[in-house]
Amino acid sequence: MVQPYRHEPFTDFTVEENKKAMEEALSQVKSELGQEYPLIIGGERIYTDRKIESFNPAKKDEIVGYVSKADQELAEKAMQVADETFEWWRKSTPEMRADILFRAAAIVRRRKFEFNAWIIYEGGKPWKEADADIAEGIDFLEYYGRQMLEIAEGKEINSRTVENNRFGYIPLGVGLVVSPWNFLFAIMCGTAVSPMVTGNTVLLKPASATPVIAYKLMEVLEEAGMPAGVINYIPGSGSEIGDYLVEHPKTRFISFTGSRDVGVGIYEKAAKVQPGQKWLKRVVAEMGGKDTIIVDNDSDLELAAESIMNSAFGFQGQKCSACSRVVAHEDVYDDLLERVTELTKDITVGNTTEKNYFMGPVVDKGAFDKISGYIETGKNEGKLVLGGDGDDSKGFFLNPTIFADVDPEATIMQEEIFGPVVAFTKAKDFNEALDIANNTDYGLTGAVITNNRNHIEMAKEDFHVGNLYFNRGCTAAIVGYHPFGGFNMSGTDSKAGGPDYLYNFLQGKTYSEML
Ligand code: NDP
């Protein structure tokens, strides 16, 4: 019997011993920067001439690793290997597959500080955020392993005296997994191992900004006993190999996490049946967010301010669940804005590979420029209360930015900024607050800070988001506790880390025998 699932505890870096261990891991990883990494196809290491240069966003001339880049020919090779491997892997036992995940979780747990350090370098994460990202990856391994064991027992259906019936689930085939850079370990790991533990084979295309940590996961899975060809590691350009594999007739499903534009494009391309294709492709697409915290007049304002500050600026606002909109009741609007501003003034920004700052850099120049553009737009759409500036001379640093008195229909209230920017707007009552909260194309997360039980019930019915939180922030979902996924243009609501998630990669089969 496996032990019951329990989520991985977070590391407390105020404890001297943990701080020291983190510093040691950072200096160890620093000595390992700048190495070359191959593709892994069918267990074979393949080095290519074209390389992705993964760099430290806090120090752009510091190269984390040079990673081989797959072209269409290598993508095709990976597809052939994954297709052949599926023929036997689909018959492997769920117990064996789950055990690989459990062992992988144990390996990552033992090397947690080292893994934290890799994603601090590659993703620009503050320590706390890096630790939560690695913990979430461990959680996915532990949780999906257990979910597979449960699913393997099948579901009860009825039989008759003349007929024996059974029902169970089988895998789909070869899946393309396309992951983002923001949860560079957790989402990459969770989306790669969920189809694998259900008996599918995988082509893993990590984000081009963060391919080194994905290589590290491959090493862990191999050490844990994953056979060659089950997950194939093929970093490369989204438009070059991504499009090729999305349209490939042998691709059975696509699991994508990333931006709305790319997700919609994948959904459309996958819908077209290609010559030789024998199925309708399944698409899991988890996309952007424009997440709101509502603050009611009867509420704990200190809790509200802390929740907003943490949800808006944790990991530089680069979370799909980040709070980028605050809708406050007019009675408390001014006090709340003042308190959030005070708390935000204490935020430290800097190179987290050197020191444990609250905020690190944004991921690259593209992000820096895009967010800066929204900040300029914001200056015309509201009152700049704090921040609004940055420095990209060494790394991509932006200060936490607050806008007040923004119209609910303004650009910065509607479009995903994906950076440390939050906009405040006023509502005259709770009904209006709900209307404003629902007025975007997205529906990922949201939070309500209130002591009013009626308002909690109203929000449960009418606040249309996949993850709705009360009296806490709108980020920090935990595997097994807060199944995660959004409505509307936030995606297909697959609810990662929830009890139904693995069914995305399975199909039900009925067996009926006449007696
Ligand atoms: P992108 O959409 O830019 O990229 C995501 C992945 O898609 C990358 O691996 C990228 O590759 C790849 N890609 C790009 N173009 C194509 C294509 N034509 N075909 C196939 N794959 C392609 O998103 P980001 O990495 O910038 O991630 C941030 C976004 O992700 C935000 O919008 C955020 O809200 C969302 N997100 C959503 C989550 C959710 O659960 N709903 C969770 C986390 C993030 P390459 O890097 O090579 O371009």
pLDDT in tens, 156-176: 999 999 999 999 999 999 999
**Residues 450-478: what's their mean pLDDT?**
98
3-state secondary structure of 349: strand
pLDDT at residue 363 above 90? yes
Q: Where are the alpha helices (DSSP H) in 42-201?
A: 72-89, 94-110, 112-123, 127-152, 186-197
**Residues 416-436: what's their mean pLDDT?**
98
Structure tokens that stand for 90 in this block: 């689909």
Q: How far does residue 182's CA lie from ligand 1's centre (Å)?
A: 9
**Residues 219-244: what's their mean pLDDT?**
97
Among 114, 129, 136, 286, the active-site one is 286
Q: How far does residue 250's CA lie from ligand 1's centre (Å)?
A: 22
**What is the number of other CB atoms lying within 10 angstroms of the CB of residue 484?**
25
Share of the chain above pLDDT 90, in %: 99
Candidates 161, 235, 132; CA nearest to 192 is 235
Lookup result for tokens 């509307």: 488
Q: How far does residue 258's CA lie from ligand 1's centre (Å)?
A: 3
**Exposure string (b/e) for 236-262, b if CB count within 10 Å is 16 or more?**
bbbeebbebbbebebbbbbbbbbebeb
320 given a catalytic annotation? yes
What is the reported pTM? 0.98
Give the pLDDT score at 1: 83
- The strand pair at 397-398 and 390-391 is best described as antiparallel
Looking at ligand 1, which residue's alpha carbon is closest to its atom 40? 286
Q: Give 382's pLDDT tier (boundaries 50, 70, 90).
A: very high
Q: How far is CA 221 from CA 67, 102, 106, 213, in A?
A: 19, 10, 11, 13
**Residues 5-16: what's their mean pLDDT?**
98
Mean pLDDT over the full length of the chain: 98
The 10s digit of each residue's pLDDT in 14-42 is 999 999 999 999 999 999 999 999 999 99
- The strand pair at 44-46 and 51-56 is best described as unpaired
104-363-47 Cα angle (round to 5): 55
**Residues 220-235: what's their mean pLDDT?**
98
Candidates 179, 135, 476; CA nearest to 323 is 476
pLDDT at residue 137 above 90? yes
Give the pLDDT score at 263: 98
pLDDT at residue 154 above 90? no
Give the pLDDT score at 84: 98
3-state secondary structure of 328: strand
| Cβ neighbours for 453, distance < 8 A, ≥ 6 positions apart | none
pLDDT at residue 203 above 90? yes
**H helix or E strand, kind and range, residue 425:** strand 421-427
What residue ranges line ligand 1, CB within 6 angstroms? 178-183, 187, 205, 207-209, 237-239, 242-243, 246, 257-259, 262, 265-266, 286-289, 320, 416, 418, 444, 486, 490-491
pLDDT at residue 155 above 90? no
Q: Give 287's pLDDT tier (boundaries 50, 70, 90).
A: very high
Q: Give 512's pLDDT tier (boundaries 50, 70, 90).
A: very high
Residues shown for the chain: 515
**Exposure string (b/e) for 291-303, b if CB count within 10 Å is 16 or more?**
bbbbbbbebebee
36 given a catalytic annotation? no
What is the end-to-end Cα distance of the chain in Å, rounded? 34
Q: Give 379's pLDDT tier (boundaries 50, 70, 90).
A: very high
Share of the chain above pLDDT 70, in %: 100
Give the pLDDT score at 336: 98
The 10s digit of each residue's pLDDT in 205-220 is 999 999 999 999 999 9
R_g over Cα of the chain: 23
Q: Is the CB of residue 41 less than 8 Å from the CB of residue 81?
A: yes
Structure tokens that stand for 415 in this block: 């479009």
Q: Report the residue among 177, 194, 262, 286 best suited for mutation to probe ligand 1: largest number of ligand atoms under 8 A from its CB.
A: 262
Q: Report the residue among 267, 320, 362, 441 best suited for mutation to probe ligand 1: largest number of ligand atoms under 8 A from its CB.
A: 320
Looking at ligand 1, which residue's alpha carbon is closest to its atom 30? 258
Dihedral angle computed from the Cα positions of residues 249, 233, 316 and 483, in that order, rounded to the nearest 10 degrees? 60
**Residues 260-267: what's their mean pLDDT?**
98
Q: Is the CB of residue 67 less than 8 Å from the CB of residue 215?
A: yes
229 vs 253: CA distance, rounded Å: 17
427 vs 330: CA distance, rounded Å: 6
Q: Is the CB of residue 288 less than 8 Å from the CB of residue 320?
A: yes
Give the pLDDT score at 408: 98
